[in-house]
Amino acid sequence: FTLTITVQDKEISKMKTLLRSQDLSCPSCVAKIENALQGLEGVSAAKVHFNTGRIEVEHDPETAPTSVLVQTVRQTGYEAKVAAF
């Protein structure tokens, strides 16, 4: 879904992107990935599901494009790919 909000004549778009990672080996990686993603400008929420490898990210696609999300997960030591569901 995409939500558009106008703040002081500046338009902010939000979208939800689903990433998948097969590399999650321990529950401690959940906080590491969530903190890295939430530290990005343009990311309003990030939730990692350890058991399924799902990574849900709510973000502004212009400030934090999908490629940056994938790269950020990679920098924490895990691989992730964009998923449809």
Distance between CA atoms of 27 and 4, rounded to whole angstroms?
Answer: 34
Distance between CA atoms of 18 and 84, rounded to whole angstroms?
Answer: 7
* Model pLDDT, residue 13: 79
Average pLDDT, the chain: 88
Q: What is the pLDDT of residues 3-25, one digit of tens each?
A: 555 555 555 678 999 999 998 88
37 is a domain residue? yes
* Model pLDDT, residue 78: 94
User: Residue 32 sits in a domain of what CATH number?
Assistant: 3.30.70.100
By percentage, how much of the chain surpasses pLDDT 70?
85
- Counted domains in the chain: 1
Residue range(s) defining the domain that contains residue 25: 12-82
**64's tokens:** 């934090």
Top mean-pLDDT range of 26-30, 70-74, 81-85: 70-74
2 is a domain residue? no
